[in-house]
Amino acid sequence: MTKKKKTYGLRLRTRGGAAVQKRWTRIMLQMNQPHKCPSCASPRVKRSIVGIWSCSKCGYKFAGGAFTPSTKTGQASTRVQES
């Protein structure tokens, strides 16, 4: 009997070791999860292209991270400065 190769959910189409596949799968699962819309607060935000996120309910489009709608760096830059 041949041993079945271990897969990590989604298939990675590029070469790489198990560590790369694990990381890619984790990011993809995080990306495909429903995200909250900053305009209408419904979880229907999807990524249209890298960095651009759009809500399928209200059509709101905004710039965000490559794999997540908001990044820590983006939050820091949009933070209102306190006087």
CA torsion angle 47 11 26 79 (round to 10): -20
Report the residue number, 29 or 40, with the smaller CB distance to Zn ion: 40
In eight-state DSSP terms, residue 58 is T
The answer to whether residue 39 forms part of the interface with Zn ion (CB under 5 A) is yes
Identify any residues that bridge with 46 across adjacent strands, giving them in sequence order.
54
- Of the candidates 23, 46, 24, 21, the one whose C-alpha atom is nearest the C-alpha of residue 33 is 46
- Cβ proximity to Zn ion: between 20 and 52 the closer is 52
Contact positions with Zn ion (CB under 5 A) in 49-78: 55, 57-58, 60
Min separation Cβ 60 and Zn ion, Å: 5
Taking the complex as a whole, how short is the minimal distance between the CB of residue 44 and Zn ion, in angstroms? 6
